[in-house]
Amino acid sequence: MPLRQQSLDLAILGRLLQAPSHGYELRQHVNAVLGYFHVVSFGSLYPALKRLSRAGLICDCENGPPRLMASRSRRVYHLTPAGQDRLANELASVDSDAWADDDFGVRFSLFGLTAPASRLDVLVGRRAYARERLARLDSGMAPNADRYATELVRFARQMVASEIDWLDQLIAAEQTADGEVLTGGNPT
């Protein structure tokens, strides 16, 4: 389960706003936070950094002009003003992509930079999406399926149901105390 370009861009921009960083470290951070959902390889990360750099959204021009390609020492990127604008726009525009599997994890990890109303939109959208998946799991199963296929669907159903529970709690928390989140109690 790779992380598609657009989502990777968002993750990079978001992280760089929190802290200027270089590719290697960026990858460690993204894989630590999103590793359950996606894995980012260098083969996608470095080209992405170049692309964003050429687009003027990020820059490694801490001291003087951007270095030429030759050097292989650390290249610390930070957001340009254009990059900050882009990030703000992306985070504010919540459409159905925002709760799809590719984007949701990235979006959620950047909730700290996201307006409360947008956070709620993403969570509610994600919950509706998860409920659809649940309905599909309940209805799509052939009645003559074998034991193991049935068990697999049951497990999937349980996973999706758990996520819905989690989203319920998050939504409730967002709605009551603006910005407060789960207490972190162990749900086992």
- Contact between 32 and a copy of itself by CB under 8 A: the answer reads yes
- Contact between 118 and a copy of itself by CB under 8 A: the answer reads no
- Contact between 6 and a copy of itself by CB under 8 A: the answer reads no
What is 66-134 written as a DSSP string?
PPPTT--S---BEE-HHHHHHHHHHHH---GGGGSHHHHHHHHHTGGGS-HHHHHHHHHHHHHHHHHHH
Q: Which of 115, 117, 149, 172 binds a copy of itself (CB under 8 A)?
A: 149
Q: Which residue has the tokens 């709690």?
A: 169
Provide the token pair at 75. Answer: 């290249």
- Contact between 140 and a copy of itself by CB under 8 A: the answer reads yes
Q: Which of 10, 34, 40, 91 binds a copy of itself (CB under 8 A)?
A: 34
DSSP label at residue 37? T
- Contact between 52 and DNA by CB under 7 A: the answer reads no
Selection from 30, 32, 59, 37 nearest residue 163 by Cα: 37
Q: Name the 3-class secondary structure at 21.
A: strand
- Contact between 176 and DNA by CB under 7 A: the answer reads no
Q: Which of 72, 142, 143, 176 binds a copy of itself (CB under 8 A)?
A: 142
Residues that bind a copy of itself (CB under 8 A): 1, 18, 28-29, 31-37, 101, 105, 108-112, 133, 136-137, 140-142, 145-149, 151-156, 158-163, 166, 170, 181-182, 184, 187-188
